[in-house]
Amino acid sequence: MKIGAPKEIMPGEARVAMTPASAKELQKLGHECMIEAGAGMRAGFTDTAYSEAGVEVVDSADSLWSAAEVVAKVRPPTDEEAAKLREGQLLISFFWPAQNEALMEKAKDAGASVIAMDMVPRISRAQKMDALSSMANIAGYRAVIEAGNNFGRFFTGQVTAAGKVPPATVLIVGAGVAGLAAIGTSTSLGAITYAFDVRPEVAEQIESMGAEFVFLDFDESSQDGSATGGYAAPSSPEFQEKQLEKFRELAPDIDIVITTALIPGRPAPKLWTKDMVEMMKPGSVVIDLAAERGGNCELTVMDEKIVSENGVTIVGYTDFPSRMSTQSSTLYATNIRHMMTDLTPDKDGVINQNMEDDVIRGATVVHAREITFPPPPPKVKAIAAAPKKDKPKELTPEEKRAQEVAAFKAQTRSQVTLLAVGGALLLLLGLYAPASFMQHFIVFVLAIFVGFQVIWGVAHSLHTPLMAVTNGISSIIIVGALMQIGSGSWLVVLLAALSVFMAGINIFGGFLVTRRMLAMFQKS
């Protein structure tokens, strides 16, 4: 079948739904590829590159729409483009069916089928087609770059001859795909990064990326992410109030705020209020990735960059993926190609729109002159439910004290028992062993005891098998050498002193090196 990609006509849209690389893969499925002349220019793909990849370059959009049996787009079709749909034609694009009922009716009346890339179910098998995640990943990365472009300082801290530069402090609200991409970019640039999300199960993901999760002191049990397809669920008014209270506490110390919070089918929640902006330092930046749905910041103006009265820059751009058109076109075209792979199971160029398939059914919004939106829930959960964790019982001060006393008594009993048994064994041995043997044996036993006490008192983070063994041996050497320092021979005294010196270097040097290595993994 002929697959065509027209030029996007929405102002400012630089992406394209087909790249030379994706066209080659589509041809391996048995399809022919077409593209409108100049469609890929703004994304860095020339008509010559398409021709070399075996793609037919057509002069006009009308020619492409009339010849293509499958039309791949980025943005939803305009009314003018929807009028070009015909019987049996398949349109694959972002469609936003919940907001475009009239557009679905036009496609139904024309007899065309529509696959909405924004409706791909979020199940494991469909990740390769998840265009929302692909674009959100780019938006999160680009948001940090845009923040750096509008921020007057470095992200990372520096100590230079001209003075000390403090690191930027970044708060990312929402830890979905865009939020996690922003966290990764921010931490890699050296900023002190904080992140907040209403889903506590993402705290480990945030901390594993080097950011600090902002916890709320609130007892409300949140809905598990698996029940909402991985998205955040609406919060109670009490939770929202506690959340805003926490943000007001953080606002004076934050240099850059990136908000990504959206709930499907709802306006963006207002999380960064006017008074929070007023608390921020002059020169601070707010990047609102939810601007298209009203914005998470009260002062956001869609598609504009404004500066508040106190000098805070608020960016409400809605075209972050388009600002990285080469990368976003490559990822989106790959998502389209994977969708076509599922639609062409036999790789014979014949499309089989199997409505029993969870992914195809979930993404199809119009088919066979019927509106199939909303789809039934997928048979497979979006993500596995997070296991319930039992909270450890909080002990009262009296219970803690009783535990400490019991532990001290048990430790004392074990040590006294060991000393008593050891002393009795030494006395028993002394009755039969010669005096010269006992002198050296007692030195040996004391050295072992001291070495054990040295190792036992070390912090657990400094323990390694190698450190434990070498320090134990070094402790034995030191005790033995100290016993020989009083010898009458100057050679024995010299050797004993050298033994103490070198064994001491081994013990203390080992601790210093290990602590230094651990410090490399700690955030100062």
- Which residues are part of the catalytic machinery? 122, 127, 130, 133, 231
Distance CA 147, CA 156 (A): 14
DSSP state of 269: P
Distance CA 224, CA 243 (A): 18
Find out whether 171 and 257 touch, Cβ atoms under 8 Å. Answer: yes
Residues paired with residue 483 on neighbouring β-strands, in sequence order: none
Residue 208, phi-psi category: left (phi > 0), alpha (psi -120 to 50), beta (remainder):
alpha
Q: Which residue has the tokens 């749905």?
A: 293
Report, in this order, helix, strand and coil percent for the chain, each rounded to 5.
50, 10, 40
Find out whether 373 and 119 touch, Cβ atoms under 8 Å. Answer: yes
Instruction: Identify the helix (H) or strand (E) that includes residue 206.
Output: helix 203-208
User: Strand, helix or coil at 522?
Assistant: coil
Continuous H helices in 70-151: 79-82, 101-110, 131-150
Picking from 453, 452, 466, 450, the residue whose alpha carbon sits closest to that of residue 517 is 466
Phi, psi of 250 (to 5 degrees): -85, -30
